[in-house]
Amino acid sequence: MFITSKLYGKVNISEVEEYTVTNSNGVSISAIPFGATLTKIVTPDKNGDMADITLNVENLDDFITHRPFYGATIGRVAGRITKGHYAIGGKEYQLDVNEGNNLLHGGPDGFDTKLWHIETEIGESEGRLIFTYTSPEGENNFPGNLWVKVTYTLTEQNEWIIDYEANTDAPTLFNPTNHVYFNLTGDIKQPILNHQLYLKSDFFAPLGEENLPSGELEKVEGTPFDFTTPKQVKEAVLSDHPQIKPLNGLDHPFALSPNAGEAQGVLYEPESGREVTLYTDCNSVVVFTHNGEVDDYTIEGAPARQYAGITLETQTLPDAVNQPGFGNIILRPEETFTSQTTYKFGVRTDKK
């Protein structure tokens, strides 16, 4: 297990290093302190060939200029908040909005736009990248100072473990996620449509206007949202379902009922044999299938293609502060927020 670093770019006059943790199997994760952003995951396929299995931009300028969210730590609140408005104890709050009338992924100056402090730790069986950031009161108009720590751990068992921790000095909202996009082919020019997905989820959250949750949870049974038995992603993405066709794919929360040690999802790509197994204590995962081409920047000399990656964004169900029954995202001064998500990387040698 070892950690290396190299210059990735500059934010104003601050140099930004990319840190890479590599285990004895050759599996590695790379990240930068700008946005506490994961930049690469390198794993072997069934033939032992190593490749990056993420979709990401190629330089810091693109992160800064275009804010693609790829691999970034999202906060204070992931997803959308209806009209950027909520109430705690009868007191109403209006946040800064950045997607029409709504707040998206923390607002116009979310965690993904900040330069975090980073420390490294190395041991025999795991290496850690530890990111810390203080979000001041009033940032994106959120109340309270918020002290955040996000730890990326790579283990000898080929696990990427994300630990979130936060404290505040006034009641505020906190619902983070990581916006990593997977493409297990190792080639972002190949779409993720043939990836197979399993989710331990019997319910999904339909979207209403402006891609906001309708507030309901509907059974996946009998719909393209049913991944309780593994199936190809394209069976959902290319369907005519009225929740999917207007978006050209998935951008939906799936409700989870986590049990310790139990996998909540598996993403598998048959040609490479690569798979990612998901474990989380969150009550939902948002699956987004990169539903359109993005030509604001180029990756490997071409625009980011439609279906170039798929996210498994673990979080409390989106807009929970405005949707009864979706969960609690209010953090109070007497509390410490903790949450953990693990992505375990494996290889199947069979062709099932």
Q: Exposure string (b/e) for 141-162, b if CB count within 10 Å is 16 or more?
A: ebbbbbebbbbbbbbeebbbbb
- Judge residue 94's burial from the number of C-beta atoms within 10 Å of its C-beta, 0-12 exposed, 13-18 middle, 19 or more buried: exposed
Catalytic residue among 18, 139, 275, 313: 313
Contact 311, 268 (CB under 8 A): no
Contact 279, 341 (CB under 8 A): yes
Catalytic residue check, 290 = no
Tokens encoding 242: 């009225």
Catalytic residue check, 85 = no
Best CA proximity match to 153, nearest among 179, 176, 132, 127: 127
Tokens encoding 4: 């290396």
Catalytic residue among 18, 105, 139, 179: 179
- The radius of gyration of the chain's CA atoms, rounded to the nearest angstrom, is 19
The number of C-alpha atoms within 13 Å of 231 and in the hemisphere containing its C-beta is 13
Query: Active-site positions?
Result: 179, 313
